[in-house]
Amino acid sequence: MMKAVFGMGQHMIPFFFSAPDLAELQRYVEIDTSRAIASVAELDPAERPEIDTLITGWGGPEITRDVLDQLPGLRAIVHVAGTVRFVDPDAWRRGIVVSSGAWANAVPVAEFTVAMITLAGKDVFWAARTYAREQREIFREAELPAIGNFGRTVGIVGASRIGSRVIRMLQAYDLRVLLFDPFCTEEQARLLGAELVSDLSELARRSSILSIHAPSRPETWGMVSREVLAALPDDATIINTARADIVDQDALIAELRSGRLRAVLDVTDPEVLPKGHILYTLPNVHLTPHLAGAAGNELRRLGESAVAEVRRHARGEPLKYAVEFAELARMA
């Protein structure tokens, strides 16, 4: 039987894996389900050559070339979370299959995003604050004449796993969906259910809600620039569940302080913001503490996905969520 080990914070094991999940793992690999390593140094040198599978997660080791050299029998890295950029590219060259749980993490982020889009379109955050502050009847037709999601235009930045899923989910709504993604073709966008727009400022100009789903890469840092933000119409909402560095945060704060734009921010720079930061108190900001990604019982989806991948590997089957080497350059 193949030997496996958890490479993650040991405290995460019961969050990711139920007792039946752990029992299922032990049907296919030899693994101590009460043990996890944060470094290969924690493994006895005699057992390192025996390790066939690493099941990695938050708090696990960085997989460098040196680590790979110490694990000559390694054939699979099954990552319970999203990004696999902690794995040295040499792993692919050595024929090690690397699997990611990014698809499973995309589900709650997309659900969260669609909920935020729906609520933003109805002015829920801002109307609720007015209602609580003034404690009076809100005359919707007179005071909120522009609310609603019938025919509203939503701009999506990035046809990533999450962005694509958001677009597909929005097909159930009477919304117009625009997409900016330099790697996406018009036909691919059409099949998703969106109109491809080649210029990001043009996308912003046509959108009353702008939702960010691009990966954080040097080429995307600050992509939602001062100019892009300025192109958004008055009272537009920007939603960011991706990474803060994709947006020029100083420029966004300037727009928010002026009262021209609104924002739903699940990510900020830094994270966590220091006490007293203006984003905590601006009345046109809905700030959440990085809740969009898998949390609570959603972590079990990640664990179940990892168990299924280990089962496939043990049976000699292709891994369903294997990351191809060519994907690395575009991954978050």
Angle at 112 between CA 252 and CA 247, to 5 degrees: 20
pLDDT at 332: 64
CATH architecture of 2-99+297-330: 3-Layer(aba) Sandwich (3.40)
The tokens of 329 are what?
């350059």
Q: How far is the CA of 140 from the CAs of 17, 119, 132, in angstroms?
A: 47, 15, 15
Compute how many other C-beta atoms are within 10 angstroms of the C-beta atom of residue 29.
19
Q: Where are the domains of the chain?
A: 2-99+297-330, 106-287
First to last CA, the chain: 34
HEC secondary structure over 61-115? CCECHHHHHHCCCCCEEEECCCCCCCECCHHHHCCCEEECCHHHHHHHHHHHHHH
Let me know if domain 106-287 sits in CATH 2.40.30.10. Answer: no
Q: Rounded mean pLDDT of 160-181?
A: 97
* Cα 289 to Cα 5: distance, rounded to the nearest angstrom: 31
Topology alike, domains 2-99+297-330 and 106-287 = yes
Confidence of residue 81 (pLDDT cuts 50, 70, 90): very high
- Is there a contact between 154 and 178 (Cβ–Cβ < 8 Å)? yes
With cut-offs at 50, 70 and 90, classify the pLDDT of residue 328: confident
Per-residue pLDDT tens over the stretch 22-79: 999 999 999 999 999 999 999 999 999 999 999 999 999 999 999 999 999 999 999 9
Query: For residue range 89-108, what is the model confidence (pLDDT) as tens digits?
Result: 999 999 999 999 999 999 99
Ramachandran area for residue 65 (φ above 0: left; ψ -120 to 50: alpha; else beta): alpha
pTM of the model: 0.94
